[in-house]
Every structure is written in C-alpha cells, then in structure tokens.
C-alpha cells in the first residue's frame, strides 16, 4: 500500500506543487517526487522570487541614486553579500511555506530522480511507485546557443544569482523577460550594460509601442542595445567575455566582465524515459492537449515542460490546478492563453494582456487604439517616472488588449486584465472612476479617450 498512490507528481516546482496540493484537497492520496534538495523549483529557487528580490535591491539603489531629486541627501553603494543574504532570506521563507503546505495536506514528498514506468507508474532511483495518474511537471532549464558553454565569464540566469561579484560591465544576449530584468538590475548596480537581440526590437513579443517606449527608457538609463543582431561567437579572452555580433553585415566585437545568455529555456525531460513510456514530445516539450493529457492515458504534463504557449509561474500554477481537477473528474475549460497577464519587472516595468494591435489587425478586426503618456498623470510626475498605456479595442466594442510600460505597471494591469478577460466594452470600463492621484488614472483616461470624452486628449 505504501508504494501506491492515486496521483504521483514528478517535480516540486510551481506546476508540480499546485497540482499536488489541489489533488490532496480533492481527497486524493498524493506523492510528489523531487530530485532537488529543496522544493520550489525554478520560480522559488532560481527564477521569479530571487530575481524580484534582486530587483527590489536595485530599486532601493535607484532611489538612493535619485534621492536629491526628492530633497533627500543620501549616498549608497551595493553590498553584494548583503543583497544575496536578503534574496536568500526571502527564498528560504517561501520554500519553507510550500514545504509546510505539502506536509499539512499530507502529500508524501519522495526525494530522488523519477522516470515514467508502465501502468502508469513512476520509478524513483530503482523503486517502483504505482499510480492511478502521473503528472509530469519537470520544468525547464536555461537554453544556451549552439556551441556555447557556461564558463567563468559566460553565464546564464542560474549562475548570475550566485556570481561572486556584481560585474562592472555586462553583455546580455536576449531581450525577453529574463534578459531585460538582468540588464536592468546590472545597470541599477552601476554596470555598463549592452543588450544583444536577434529580433528587430527588444521585448519582441510585446506590442511594438511597448518595445519602442522601453528602448527609449533604457537608452536614457545608459543601456546600449543592438537589435536585429546575429551572435557570431561567444567566448573568453584576457579574463573577460567577448561576443562578436553581426548587424546588417557589419561585424562588431564587444567585451565585458560577463556575458549573460538569456535566449530562452529548454524543457527538462532527460532520464524520464518518455520514449519508452510512449509519451510523445513536440520539439522536446511533452505534447499535451488542452486538458494537459499526454499521448499516454493517465499521464499528464503541466508547466514549462508541457507544450503549452507561455513559460510563466502563474501559468504553471493554473495548469497544475486544472490537471488535478481533470484527474478528479471535474470539467475544466481549456485555458485561454491570450488572456494571461505577461509581466517583466525591469525599470520601467512592462505588463500586458490580450491582443497586440498587430494581432488584432491580423485577425481582420475593426480596431481602434489609444496611447497615453504617464507624464499626463499627477502621481507619475510625483514618482518621477514615465511610460505609456496603450489600449487596443474593437471599434465601439470590447477591450482586446492592454499594454503598459511604466512605474509599477505589473501591479496596475489588473484593471486591464479584468476588462480583457470579461470581454468588457470600452463604454463599460469608461464608467469606472479611478482614485486620484494614482497611477491607475492612466488606464482609466486611455479608455475614456476611446469614448471621445477625455478632457486630456
């Protein structure tokens, strides 16, 4: 009996623990297999939480650097061991929180590396555990460019968290969320930063207006950027990282203390025995349908390892819960990935939900668009930071997309999030009154402007 469960989850990250907790809540006997010493996976140990702790230290540094603008005399400099100690404290607290929750729900945590066996079952270091249902939640790891290896001066986000010092200069390859956040962090800490992006613009998956506004802000912060740049080589010479790039046929060699490669993340499936178990993959990711079923009955996959569109913690969390409910026989609607909030915690922050203007037009919709600047809002002037809000709507109809760059926009997206997911119309949202003075006034004003009633347009 001890080696037989209703649900065995492989992987103790966000997707895995949310699935285990919800399964236990639904009355299942659950085991969770994790090979790392600690639970929490990428988000808690190497991703969202430690990087946001670093970015909080960066925000304090920025406030000190700009203190005189606000009439305060202050001087300060980063103390890297203390910054890391702050980061560790936050991580430790949250890891123990998750560990406690699993214990309280009586989920058996099994330490070791799992493979998928027949039945289905899970084999953990030679021990077979029978299960009615198995959930694969093994996550992802940083993807390096072909031929590039991690070394003293060439690192990924994993090594950046434990690097012995703050570099005085950094080349960041890749201008997606991870690259943009580290570029922002290093710059706040005083480093010379250069971003290299293969696609024509930074934040390439966002609405073009956001990319342009962010590029302006980064330029003002003194961050150099090469978009549309092909990396020809990455290496080390004379104790520094060297990167040769090609922009419009022109080769340039850049050097810096470190080169951080942030070119995406690859699924972790090594040793899982997927092929032998008959679990199909799609470009390396475990192939799932809209309900997280793999090609083998009673074997499911969620989170970064699954072939679903977004690699984000709140996506893994939602998928884990949805899979647990499906396993328990509860009808669950397919997730609408377009309605999921996308967030990047650089300075200024980036947040968006729904369709970009380009996507809405490509669908053949009759689209109207409004863009407002944070400088038109009193609170943004007090905070001393700029940015934009862009709303994409069906002419005279529903809000299709909300796109923001600016101070704390990751906290302000919720109004736009509700509007898009509730399929609210511009006229309905324009009725809501925003508090004054607040940064959320800008979303309200942008929507109001689409009704032709803004006094500021």
Answer yes or no: are the C-beta atoms of 54 and 80 closer than 8 Å. Answer: no
Q: Does 11 interact with ligand FAD (rule: CB under 6 A)?
A: yes
Restricted to residues 301-320, the positions that interact with ligand FAD (CB under 6 A) are 303-305, 311-314, 316
Q: How far is the CB of 318 from ligand FAD (least distance, A)?
A: 11
Residue number with CB closer to ligand FAD (202 or 377): 202
Q: Whole-number minimum distance, CB 354 to ligand FAD, in Å?
A: 17
Interface with ligand FAD, residue 107, by CB under 6 A? no
Nearest residue (CB) to ligand FAD, 114 versus 214 = 114
**In whole angstroms, what is the distance from residue 412 CA to residue 399 CA?**
16
Binding mask 156-195 for ligand FAD (x = CB under 6 A): -x--------------------x-----------------
What b/e readout covers 239-268, taking b as 16+ CB neighbours within 10 angstroms?
Answer: ebbbbebeeeeeeeebbbbbbbbbbebebb
206 is written with which tokens?
Answer: 């966002």
CB of 123 to ligand FAD, least distance (A): 10
Give residues with Cβ within 8 angstroms of 68, minimum separation 6. Answer: 74
Give the residue among 353, 352, 392, 354 at the shortest CA–CA distance from 371: 392
Comparison of 325 and 370: residue with beta carbon closer to ligand FAD: 325
- Length in residues, the chain: 457
Q: What are phi and psi for residue 413, nearest 5 degrees?
A: -70, -20
What residues from 338 to 357 belong to the interface with ligand FAD (CB under 6 A)? 345
* Residue 314 annotated in active site: no
Residue among 245 and 323 whose Cβ is closer to ligand FAD: 323
Residues 6+ apart with CB under 8 A from 193: 169, 170, 171, 172, 183, 186, 187, 222, 223, 224
Q: What is the smallest separation between the CB atom of 453 and ligand FAD, expressed in angstroms?
A: 36
Q: What DSSP string describes 282-312?
A: ETTEEP--TT-B-SSTTEEE-GGGBSSS---
Catalytic residue among 226, 314, 403, 436: 436
Contacts of 280 (CB under 8 A, 6+ apart): 274, 286, 287, 294, 295
Closest CA to 348 of 380, 313, 392: 380
Q: Which is nearer to ligand FAD, 122 or 447 (CB)?
A: 122
Q: Which helix (H) or strand (E) holds 266?
A: strand 265-267
Rounded least distance, CB 277 to ligand FAD, Å: 12
- Nearest approach, Cβ of 22 to ligand FAD (angstroms)? 13
Per-residue mark of binding to ligand FAD, 30-69 (x: CB under 6 A): ---xxxx----xxx--xxx--x------------------
| Site size with ligand FAD, rule: CB under 6 A | 38
> Can you tell me which of 5, 7, 8, 15 binds ligand FAD, judged by CB under 6 A?
15
Nearer to ligand FAD, 43 or 170 (CB): 43
Task: Please name the helix (run of DSSP H) or strand (run of DSSP E) that holds residue 50, with its range, or none.
Answer: helix 48-65
| Side-chain half-sphere CA neighbours of 106 within 13 A | 7
**Footprint on this chain of ligand FAD (rule: CB under 6 A):** 10-16, 33-36, 41-43, 46-48, 51, 113-114, 137-140, 157, 178, 268, 271-272, 303-305, 311-314, 316, 345
Looking at the annotation, which residues are catalytic? 436
């Amino acid at each position: 009996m001890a080696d037989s469960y209703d649900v065995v989850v492989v992987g103790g990250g966000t997707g895995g623990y949310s699935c285990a907790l919800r399964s236990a809540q639904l009355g299942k006997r659950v085991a969770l297999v994790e090979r790392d010493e600690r639970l929490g996976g990428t988000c808690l140990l190497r991703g969202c939480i430690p990087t946001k702790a670093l970015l909080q230290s960066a925000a304090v540094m920025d406030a000190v650097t700009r203190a005189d603008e606000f009439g305060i005399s202050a001087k300060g400099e980063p103390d890297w061991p203390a910054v890391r100690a702050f980061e560790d404290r936050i991580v430790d607290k949250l890891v123990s929180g998750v560990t406690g929750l699993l214990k309280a729900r009586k989920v058996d945590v099994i330490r070791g590396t799992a493979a998928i066996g027949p039945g289905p079952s899970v084999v953990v270091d030679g021990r077979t555990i029978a299960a009615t249902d198995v959930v694969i939640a093994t996550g992802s790891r940083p993807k390096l460019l072909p031929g590039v290896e991690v070394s003293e001066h060439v690192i990924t986000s994993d090594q950046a968290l434990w690097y012995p010092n703050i570099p005085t200069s950094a080349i960041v390859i890749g201008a997606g969320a991870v690259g943009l956040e580290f570029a922002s962090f290093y710059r706040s800490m005083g480093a010379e930063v250069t971003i290299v992006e293969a696609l024509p613009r930074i934040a390439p998956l966002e609405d073009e207006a956001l990319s342009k506004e962010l590029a302006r802000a980064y330029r003002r912060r003194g961050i150099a950027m090469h978009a549309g740049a092909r990396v020809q080589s990455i290496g080390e010479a004379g104790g520094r990282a060297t990167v040769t790039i090609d922009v419009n046929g022109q080769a340039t060699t850049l050097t810096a203390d470190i080169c951080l490669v942030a070119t995406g993340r690859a699924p972790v499936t090594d040793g899982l025995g997927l092929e032998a178990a008959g679990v199909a993959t799609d470009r390396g990711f475990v192939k799932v349908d809209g309900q997280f079923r793999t090609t083998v009955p009673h074997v499911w996959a969620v989170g970064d390892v699954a072939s679903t569109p977004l690699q984000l913690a709140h996506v893994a969390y939602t998928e884990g819960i949805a899979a647990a409910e499906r396993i328990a026989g509860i009808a669950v609607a397919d997730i609408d990935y377009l309605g999921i909030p996308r967030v990047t915690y650089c300075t200024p922050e980036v947040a968006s939900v729904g369709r970009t203007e380009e996507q809405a037009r490509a669908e053949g919709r009759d689209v109207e668009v409004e863009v407002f600047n944070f400088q038109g809002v009193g609170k943004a002037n007090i905070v001393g930071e700029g940015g934009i809000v862009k709303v994409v709507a069906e002419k005279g109809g529903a809000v299709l997309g909300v796109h923001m760059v600016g101070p704390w926009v990751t906290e302000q997206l919720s109004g736009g999030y509700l509007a898009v997911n509730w399929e609210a119309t511009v006229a309905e949202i324009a009725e809501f009154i925003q508090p004054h003075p607040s940064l959320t006034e800008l979303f309200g004003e942008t929507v109001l402007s689409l009704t032709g009633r803004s006094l500021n347009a």
